[in-house]
A and B are shown apart, each in its own frame.
Chain A
Amino acid sequence: MKSSTFALVCVVVAALVFAALRWYGNEYLFFAGYVVLQFIVLATAWNILGGYTGYVNFGSAAFFAVGAYSSIFFHKTFPLPIPVLIVIGGVFAGLVGLGMGYLTLRLRGAFFAIGTLALAVVLQTIITNWTYLGGSRGAYVIRPDEIALVGPYVQYLFLLMLGLAVIAIMVARGIEHSQLGYGFATIRDDELAAEASGVPTLKLKLIATTISGALMGMAGAPFPYYLGYVQPGTVFGLEYAVNSIAMPMIGGTTSWVGPLIGAILLASLQQWATVKFSSELGVLFVGVLLVVFVVLAPKGIVGLVEGWRRGKV
């Protein structure tokens, strides 16, 4: 499928989803749907680095938080419309991503993963002690109830996140089908051999960490407006780090479809568990599923389906 056709399909699907929810008319669905979409963006973004190049990032929450806190900063100093804040959050988180990319100069495998975790801790410490951004007490954002054209504010946020999810998926698919994706795969398989074949591995890794980080930051930028209150413990929470890894792993890391399936499945399951039981149980579900998949189906749902199809042929 050509990229333009694919983009059209994505937009049509997104429009149908929005129309269907509007028609159903339950405001809670937008509220829950926003979270699902946010995880589609996070999982897809994580996969661009973790799935395509094989560098595992444990610090997703930090990038999400950079996006969220850049919005807080501008909300306090110079209020801007949310789409602009999304771009700004993306730029900041992309820069942090670029910095993280330089870690890959010396760190590989588990050591890189630990490095990203350390990065998250450092950023959390900075934010917690930055009183202007609310420090450990957190920061409030008063948002309007309604917005022109769309109506209820939560629907507006939902729509923005829907757009971001479409962009993230198109970016991921675009990379996969391009020379860039080809180079990423060689890095995942064997970095030394990639260099010997002429692949500029450092440059490609920096591109991957920057795009991945920027998308995560973009997902975090509208978050303060969604919840109305942000504190470091929430946005740096384990939930984001674990989910952004678990969703692609469970869906399958080799293509853009995997994180999408994983995110829809797990985030919906979590939302359901949160309402029915408790949010802790939701995280437990993810943990158990992750263990099951890592042991039984390391290539995720996409891998299972591919194996099944190949078996039939």
Chain B
Amino acid sequence: MAASSENTSVGDSVPKINDDLAVGSDLEFQRRWWKFENVTWWLFAVIVLMDILGCFGRGPLANAKVQTPDGTMKIKYERIERLSTPSLITIEFGGSAIKDEKLQLLVSESLVKRLGNQRVVPQPAVSRLGDSKIMYTFPANRLPASVQFSLEPSEVGISHLTLQVPGADEAKLTIFVMP
């Protein structure tokens, strides 16, 4: 019984065209929407182009190379990474990187905590933690030598990564992880 008071009579609530057909069309709104659609399509095109170029990772603009001033390390990495997406950091050693038949590499903890290091190739003989850094020690006898880190970033945003052969120049990398 109470529900009957909520009923309303049928009226001309839907606008008509030609005073004949109730359509409820809103052409002015639609014209604005079409303009918005056109802008959106251009925006999509720009985003796709930027993606192809690597602005969001995985493309030529995302790839980076850096070398320490003393030539101890040449590092190939991706300055723009994607969350949970595998990537590589390759370090080629030169100069006086090897001492006493071993190569030591000091990296910041962000390599593991934020950038999700999954694997180091070759496997280090010793990994030592301390002072927010990790020291990897590899048996090595002569150059050239290279080490590869397989990453799978676990946190979105800017990560700072430092790499250094003890006693040599430090390399500071800034890596942005896309969601």
Is B truly associated with A? Answer: no
Instruction: List residues of chain B with CB under 8 Å of any chain A CB.
Output: none
